[in-house]
Amino acid sequence: MPKNTVLTLQQQKQAGDKICQVTAYDYTMACLVEEAGLEMILVGDSLGMVMMGYEDTLPVTMDDMVRYTRSVTRATNNTFVVADMPFMSYQASMNEAVTNAGRLLKEGRAQAVKLEGGATVVKQIRAMTEAGIPVQAHIGMTPQSVNAFGGFKVQGKNVDAAKQIVEDAIAVQEAGAFSIVLECVPALLAEYITEQVNAITIGIGAGAGCDGQVLVGQDLLGMTHGFKPKFVKRFGEVGNAIMDAYAAYSAEVKAGTFPASPEHTFKIDEEVMELVRRG
């Protein structure tokens, strides 16, 4: 399988070949994504909810992101890994933004970083790309701004809001972003933006007209319970399979049938045991 790079991903867009991105946060899951041949992994700050049990992404730290990103990149040779910039890792100052982005490449070994925001973060995007750090932008519904939005809501449904998202897409592209995540944006608007920009558009709740798609791995695998966003399709029911396996394991342990002998146990010579018993 060829190694995915910014250049090969751009060539896919030009060829009309859809790009597949999925979140992964650990070595084991990243190994499976790599073997499946998906082009991109996002080590999302969604790990705050999926892996750490927070109610939103806001508590995630730079150290968290570096640690989880390095776990993923140890598993990947060909998959292009993008690491999220967590809340307040790029908003305070330009120097801090570039330094933190650099950590995700230098310590986390990611190939690119992702940050939320449109026209408001063009200075950060420009500074990062000038420092040689590829950037994936993220506009529309941006989870780090959940408090400002008043919840997780579709964005760009009226004329002014839709025009703002278009302007944001153009602004982040002009600042140097090679890719743009469009989250919870009406499908026709996302398709229009995809036609207007050269950057790779990756949709999540933005219809099939984008250059590619991204979903949270645990969502598409059916490992999560409770609220399910409208844009999520469960491509498997891995969660049920895991629970069934745990239940079967528990039942056999309690029944004394696991571990089975000699299938799961190791032998020792009876003569040795006799000497052990004698003390």
In the numeric block, the tokens 């970083």 are attached to: 113
Q: What pLDDT is stored for residue 99 in this prediction?
A: 98
Q: Which of 210, 217, 216 is nearest to 140 (CA)?
A: 210
Q: What pLDDT is stored for residue 275 in this prediction?
A: 94
Question: Strand, coil or helix: what is 192?
Answer: helix
Lowest average pLDDT, out of 47-61, 85-99, 196-210, 223-237, goes to 223-237
**pLDDT mean across residues, the chain:** 95
Q: What pLDDT is stored for residue 1 in this prediction?
A: 74
Q: What pLDDT is stored for residue 279 in this prediction?
A: 82
DSSP H or E run through 50: helix 47-50
DSSP state of 94: H
d(C-alpha 152, C-alpha 229), whole Å: 10
Q: Tokens representing 224? A: 């999560």
In the numeric block, the tokens 């059916």 are attached to: 222
Q: What pLDDT is stored for residue 123 in this prediction?
A: 98
pLDDT tens digits, one per residue of 197-245:
999 999 999 999 999 999 999 999 999 887 678 889 999 999 999 999 9
Q: What pLDDT is stored for residue 59 in this prediction?
A: 96
d(C-alpha 262, C-alpha 187), whole Å: 59
214-240 as b/e: b if 16+ CB within 10 A: bbbbbbbbbbbeeeeeebbeeeeeeee
Q: Tokens representing 24? A: 């992964």
DSSP H or E run through 167: helix 159-175
Q: Residue 267 pLDDT > 60, yes or no?
A: yes
- Rounded to 10 degrees, the C-alpha dihedral 125/131/136/139 comes to -10
pLDDT tens digits, one per residue of 3-26:
999 999 999 999 999 999 999 999
Contact 101, 113 (CB under 8 A): yes
Q: Tokens representing 177? A: 């972003």
Region 82-110: mean pLDDT is: 97
Tell me whether residue 80 is exposed, middle or buried, using C-beta atoms within 10 angstroms of its C-beta: 0 to 12, 13 to 18, 19 or more. Answer: buried
Q: Residue 49 pLDDT > 70, yes or no?
A: yes
pLDDT tens digits, one per residue of 146-204:
555 555 678 888 999 999 999 999 999 999 999 999 999 999 999 999 999 999 999 99
147-156 as b/e: b if 16+ CB within 10 A: eeeeeeebbb
Catalytic positions are: 183
Q: What pLDDT is stored for residue 35 in this prediction?
A: 98
